[in-house]
A and B are shown apart, each in its own frame.
Chain A
Amino acid sequence: MAIQVRHINKSFGATPVLRDVSIDVKPGSLTALLGPSGGGKSTLLRVIAGLEQPDSGTVVINGVDATNLSPQRRNVGFVFQHYAAFKHMTVYDNVAFGLQIRKRPKAEIRSRVKELLHLVHLEQFATRRPAQLSGGQRQRMALARALAVEPQVLLLDEPFGALDAQVRRELRSWLRRLHDEVHVTTVFVTHDQEEAIEVADTIVVLADGIVEQAGAPHDLYDNPANPFVMRFLGPVTEIDGELVRPHDLELSTSDDQKCGPQATVTRIVRLGFEERVEMLLSGQETWAQVTRGTAHRLALSPGSTVYVKKVDDP
């Protein structure tokens, strides 16, 4: 295992933030720590980096017990949510910092920094200051700076949290491609389930300082361990007290087959390709997600009566 976290407990004052947390991160994987804010995911990342000291438990990085190592001895790359760019240095000097601290030969530093700036598409910005870069460029500079020292693991704290939606989506797929190129074991923190599912190959769901579930994205989506994970990973609605995904509901207007309970349509919302059908089912609000074609075929409108059936394992 690249990272083994065992029985970590951490409190800030009287408030427990991590409670007996244990996770494994496979070498070369891209793991997301997913959870609501205040769930302890950033603290766990900082414990792995050595920026926070756990109250108890151990952190093993590539087989070495790192629990009592200072951050500068762990050889981890850390990308901060707000980049923590060295404001008084140029982009080049930011990226070169870790190599200069390690007293590498000048020529080696120059070629390595050049290579990294190429990797993050910032070659022409080498002499700029961080203040002259956009948010996305600053983020990529921070990433290059962390990668420069060839870290054993790369840790990213809400890497896209401070960016607008458009840049966010671009950087997301770029990070995925970068990871496929560089292959460094990566752990990133996010509160956005869509981001976690799209980018990560493993997801660890953390809430209230406890690991709710860990596994592959589709596994967590299809077989959530508990209602919390199910709610957090995707849209849910309730039928007869049971949690279901709204796209797993089949609607029909004829009751000739066994079609399940009857409901009354209250509203139809068009969301481009899909339509969101809101219904009242024995006094309870529920909704189904259907394609535009289905909605058209059933000729649904507010007031229509429909029969709702759950599709098992599509």
Chain B
Amino acid sequence: MIKHALRWTALLYLFFLLVLPVALIAWRTFGDGIAPFIESLSSPEALHAFQITFVVALWAVAINTAFGVGMAILLARHSFPGKRLLNAAIDLPLAVSPVVVGLALVLVYGRFAPVGGWLESLGLQVIFSTPGMVLATVFVSLPLVVRAVEPVLNELGTEQEQAAHTLGAGPWPTFLRITVPGIRAALAYGVVLCLARALGEYGAIAVVSGRLVGQTQTLTLFVEERFQNFREGDAFAAATALALIAVITLLVTKLLHPKHRSMDSR
């Protein structure tokens, strides 16, 4: 009896929270067939939003991958003063609201701030431009690669790397041929998570981009702008596109998940 009640409660809860809203968006998007959907997404503004979203996301993923692997090796393989502080700092982006992150970046890199002013004198505009958006996205997705790779590095241990050293391999060949294959699955998992987070980021991007239509407008900003301007068709089409991308990355993530993989290989 209780089991049934719990099951129905859970199903109803998920239905009203998740299934109904998503289904409604899809229904509103495709209610008049696929033509309006394609038309909405092929406007110059929409295409530009796609482009800027992917440029920012790819830069952010590339930076976080390099940084994440380096940081994970530092945390898993070395001990140094301040390690615990660093460990805590890596998780900070999860706790801080993205809007706060955006504001903080404006305070440092804005045109009238010392660092931002200096960079601008060198010809590099950060805020209201792509570098600032990349910076904001990197910040909010900072822990994802590190936290995916670090436990696997710990589990892997150092013996294989030491064996490679005694066989004549220097640090770089050892990293490429022993360490990277060892963390491959976890790294891929972290990268996909990071990509999903980067594509969906709104709060920090909204602050640092200035929301300039056709210039710094990402897909999430596009959805919001069209919705505010009573262009619901465009908003729903872009939202559906974002949801589809999210579902695809989620599927890839499931396939790449380390636990899932290790169960297969045993």
Contacts and interface: CB of A to CB of B under 8 A. Distances in A.
Interface residues of A, number: 28
Given A72-B170, A101-B173, A84 B165 contact: no
Interface stretch (A74-82, A205-213, A237-245, A300-308): A74-82
B167 A149 contact: yes
Interface string A133-163: 0000000001001101100000000000000
B167 to A, nearest CB: 4
B64 to A, nearest CB: 24
Point out which of B160, B167, B169, B181 has the most chain A C-beta atoms below 10 A from its C-beta. B167
Nearest to A142: B163
B169 to A, nearest CB: 5
A98 B182 contact: no
Interface in B172-204: 173, 177-178, 181-182, 184
B164 A97 contact: yes
Interface in B138-190: 159-160, 162-170, 173, 177-178, 181-182, 184
A146 B167 CA distance: 7
Given A88-B181, A101-B173, A82 B166 contact: no
A49 interface: yes
B166 A77 contact: yes
Contacts of B163: 78, 80, 84, 86, 142, 145
Contacts of A98: 167-169
A89 to B, nearest CB: 8
A229 B202 CA distance: 73
A80 B168 contact: no
Interface of B: 159-160, 162-170, 173, 177-178, 181-182, 184
Contacts, number: 63
B167 A145 contact: yes
A148 B167 CA distance: 9
Given A84-B160, A98-B168, A142-B163, 20 more contacts: A50-B166, A51-B165, A51-B166, A70-B165, A72-B166, A72-B167, A72-B169, A77-B166, A78-B162, A78-B166, A82-B159, A84-B159, A86-B164, A86-B178, A88-B181, A98-B169, A101-B168, A102-B168, A145-B163, A148-B167
Interface of A: 49-51, 70-78, 80, 82, 84-88, 97-98, 101-102, 142, 145-146, 148-149
Contacts of A71: 162, 165-166
A296 B42 CA distance: 104
Contacts of A70: 165
B165 A101 contact: no
A129 to B, nearest CB: 9
A77 B166 CA distance: 6
A87 B182 contact: yes
Nearest to B184: A88
Contact of A80 (B162, B177, B181, B184): B162
Contacts of A75: 168
B166 A76 contact: yes
B101 to A, nearest CB: 38
Contacts of B170: 72
A109 to B, nearest CB: 13
Nearest to B180: A88
A49 B169 contact: no
B165 A72 contact: yes
A102 B169 CA distance: 8
19 contacts: A51-B165, A70-B165, A71-B162, A71-B165, A72-B166, A72-B167, A73-B168, A74-B166, A84-B160, A84-B162, A84-B163, A86-B160, A86-B163, A87-B160, A88-B182, A101-B169, A102-B168, A142-B163, A149-B168
Contacts of B178: 86
A97 B166 CA distance: 11
Nearest to B173: A101
B172 to A, nearest CB: 11
A50 B170 CA distance: 13
Contacts of A145: 163, 167
B107 to A, nearest CB: 44
A46 B153 CA distance: 22
Contacts of B159: 80, 82, 84
B113 to A, nearest CB: 46
A86 B169 CA distance: 13
Nearest to A79: B163
A87 B183 CA distance: 12
A76 B164 CA distance: 12
Nearest to B160: A84
A49 B170 CA distance: 15
Contacts of B182: 87-88
A80 B177 CA distance: 19
A73 B166 CA distance: 8
A143 to B, nearest CB: 12
B149 to A, nearest CB: 16
B11 to A, nearest CB: 42
A270 B48 CA distance: 90
Point out which of A49, A71, A148 has the most chain B C-beta atoms below 10 A from its C-beta. A71
Point out which of A97, A148, A149 has the most chain B C-beta atoms below 10 A from its C-beta. A97
